[in-house]
Amino acid sequence: MTSLLSLIVSLFLFIQSPNKEIANTDSIDTVISAIENSSSGDLAKYFDSSISLNVNGLQGDYSKNQAELVLKDFFKKNPSMGFILVFRSENNPSLSSFIGDYQSAQGLFKVFIKVSQQDADFKIYSLEFVKG
């Protein structure tokens, strides 16, 4: 009886494992969506407790809340006309980098996103918007 119970529990855990992986890889999609929609609030949900931020020359280390305010101002002045992810580096499972093109009426910005994966948490620790 215990071996049957062990088998059922093992099978359940095995079936559930891939869903966790899918959720983790989809996290960048929600970040992309937040940038496309110029949503500093949605983007800030993925910030680490402090973040290295460079927004068109305004560079520094910010708390999560400060970074959200800086991005809110940036998005207000530069509303999105589109965002395309052009490069993705996920070779290291705990650190990933992404590069994208953010289009606004004021021009094109290169976006550099660096994220860390700690257990099930997906956190942005560095973000740059550089006019190109």
Could you tell me if residue 21 is inside a domain?
Answer: no
Could you tell me if residue 95 is inside a domain?
Answer: yes
Number of helical H runs and strand E runs in the chain:
3, 6
Q: Which amino acid is at 130?
A: V
pLDDT score at 93: 76
Burial of 67 (0-12, 13-18, 19+ CB in 10 A): buried
Could you tell me if residue 13 is inside a domain?
Answer: no
CATH code of the domain covering residue 103 = 3.10.450.50
Q: Which two tokens stand for residue 40?
A: 């500093």
Q: Which residue has the tokens 């992309």?
A: 32
pLDDT of 38 above 90? yes
Could you tell me if residue 11 is inside a domain?
Answer: no
pLDDT of 20 above 70? no
Residue 104 DSSP symbol: E
Could you tell me if residue 5 is inside a domain?
Answer: no
How far is Cα 36 from Cα 90, in angstroms, rounded to an integer?
A: 21
Which of 95, 96, 76 has the alpha carbon at shortest distance from 87?
Answer: 96
Q: Which residue has the tokens 């002045």?
A: 77
How far is Cα 132 from Cα 90, in angstroms, rounded to an integer?
A: 24
Domain that holds residue 78: 28-131
Could you tell me if residue 8 is inside a domain?
Answer: no
Q: Which two tokens stand for residue 22?
A: 């899918």
Could you tell me if residue 17 is inside a domain?
Answer: no
Work out how many domains the chain is built from and give that number.
Answer: 1
pLDDT of 97 above 60? yes
Could you tell me if residue 122 is inside a domain?
Answer: yes
